[in-house]
Structure 1
Amino acid sequence: MKERLLDMLAEICEDDIVKENMNIDLLETDLLDSLGFAELLALIEDEFGIVLSPSEFQREDLNTPAKILEILETRG
């Protein structure tokens, strides 16, 4: 799951730094914008069958690869 998530993030963010730094803030570094965030949620649902509704999370809850992975692992 971790490797696939990092591959998806690298594709959306167009930067492999997300694979090297699991604690990079995707929002503050402008690696992920609102459209990218929506794309990520759709890919997570397609790939893992896990629905993450934007209304149930604050942006800060999903702002690093490590936080996203933690949520996926608890739901998967």
Structure 2
Amino acid sequence: MDFKEKVLQVIAEVCQDDVVKEELDLDLFDSGLIDSFGTVELLFQFDDQLNITVPITEFDRDTWNTPNAIVDRLNELK
């Protein structure tokens, strides 16, 4: 499994919906798939499963809102 697939798997687990693996430009917040509690869980899972720590202060909803955007940001941090 490559990095992008791993990230998408984590997002799908937290959102409890595999649609995020197919609709990579879907706004996770506007669609209701993730909320503030989900955001915290997402950051925890990135640290736990991918060994990438994302400080909550660097998580901006406008730039971390789609699966594609999340993959891009995590690529910068790994």
* Shorter-chain TM-score above 0.5: yes
1:45 aligns with 2:47: yes
1-side partners of 2:8 and 2:67: how far apart? 7
CA–CA distance in 2 between the matches of 1:70 and 1:55? 18
Structure number with the higher helix fraction is: 1
Tell me the C-alpha RMSD between the 2 structures: 1.0
Matched to 2:47, the amino acid is E
**Aligned partners of 1:57 and 1:36: how far apart in 2?**
12
CA shift, 1:19, in A, is 0.4
TM-score (norm 1): 0.91
- Give the TM-score taking structure 2 as reference length: 0.89
Tell me the secondary structure at the aligned position of residue 58 of structure 1. coil
Identity over the aligned pairs, expressed in percent? 39
Cross-structure match for 2:75:
73
Aligned length: 76
> Following TM superposition, where does structure 1 have runs of at least 4 consecutive aligned residues deviating by more than 6 angstroms?
none
AA in 1 matched with 2:16:
E
Deviation at 1:11, TM superposition (A): 1.3
